[in-house]
Amino acid sequence: MSNARATHLTRRGILAAGGAVGLGAVLAACGDDDAKDGGSAGNETAAAKSGPWTFKDDRGQTVKADKVPANIVAFIGVAAALHDYGVEAKGVFGPTTTKDGKPDVQAGDLDVTKVTNLGNEWGQFNIEKYAALRPDALLSTMFDNTGTLWYVPEESKKKIEAVGAPSVGISVYDRQLTQPLQRMAELAKSLGGDVTSAKFTRAKKRFEDAAARLRAAAKAKPDIKVLVGSASQDLFYVSGTNLSIDLEYFKALGVNFVEPPESAKQANGGGGWYESLSWENVDKYPADIIMMDNRTQAIQPADITEATWKKLPAVKAGQVIARNPEPILSYDKCAPLLEVLAEALEKAKKVS
């Protein structure tokens, strides 16, 4: 492990356990790069537009260009979100395919065979391939307040910047889900995406209806405790709701979450995101529903063999649902997140 990566283990590990990014016990929140993509030559999106382009990102930096970017490189989750708005990236980085070559959960509906993958794992970013794409925009998210782009390796930052493409960062740190959703829609619009179509309108209404449903479900079941977890081979991470865009929003809608004390979240590299527990202590917090990190780097519930896990009341009751700690920021992809939790609450029995 490089020193550069090691210095970011704490931050990404923070995201790892149920925090904004969820597990990856070793995933350091080095930078949030959620890819923003621009249309390619055959697309009637960004590439079809002419004239100057400007966008003020969440670092407070305003990027300007003589024309709307057409050669977009983005973090896979950003590329997936922009795809939903009709904006296509040429290159992506971050978890794009699984070990068997299938699209990663973070790829959404993106056809991963039609984009150049610059690096599928943490710390990977092929600068030669990046330069060959002649990029005119580099897009990502940010999981901290330092302006670090997610999945853009710090050790390669200067070389990546030297290629010359302006970068855009959309913050997914310490705010509710609705804000980055709106910001992504604004970015998509600036790149030629369609945010006025019937498809967009339906997706946004579905999201709003799902939010109302979740609020009603939470109000009807105030005593149902929801624990947010992420599993690794040696540790189980319990996330607090602070800092994570989805959990902060769900809490605002009334969901009753298990909240590890701040001192526990700061210990062992949790940095305010999560508390790490040994599998022997996985029953520390009583819960009726467990939301589990569904990203590739996390061990999935069906593959957990620990006896202490199998004895948890929520597990025995079948009240375990999936959670993506890195939501794809389109209304189409976020509405189901609310619907799944709402349905779980509606059906949940008090077991803790």
| DSSP assignments along 206-246, one per residue | HHHHHHHHHHHHHHH-TT--EEEEEE-SSEEEEE-STTBHH
In angstroms, the CA 69 to CA 52 distance is 10
pLDDT at residue 50 in the model: 64
pLDDT at residue 256 in the model: 98
Sign, CA dihedral 283-289-293-299, equals positive
In angstroms, the CA 139 to CA 38 distance is 10
Q: Which residue has the tokens 């709106």?
A: 182
Q: Please give the average pLDDT of every successive group of 10 residues along the chain, which has 352 residues.
A: 33 44 34 35 43 95 96 98 98 96 96 97 97 98 96 96 97 97 98 95 98 98 98 96 97 97 82 93 98 96 97 98 97 98 98 97
In angstroms, the CA 197 to CA 265 distance is 43
DSSP assignment, residue 194? -
pLDDT at residue 49 in the model: 57
Q: Which residue has the tokens 């959670």?
A: 323
pLDDT at residue 8 in the model: 36
CB proximity list for 231: less than 8 A, separation 6 or greater: 23, 237, 292, 293, 298, 299, 300, 301, 304, 309
25 vs 275, 299, 307, CA distance in Å?
Answer: 12, 11, 21
CB 127 within 8 A of CB 116: no
pLDDT at residue 269 in the model: 72
pLDDT at residue 74 in the model: 98
pTM for this predicted structure: 0.87
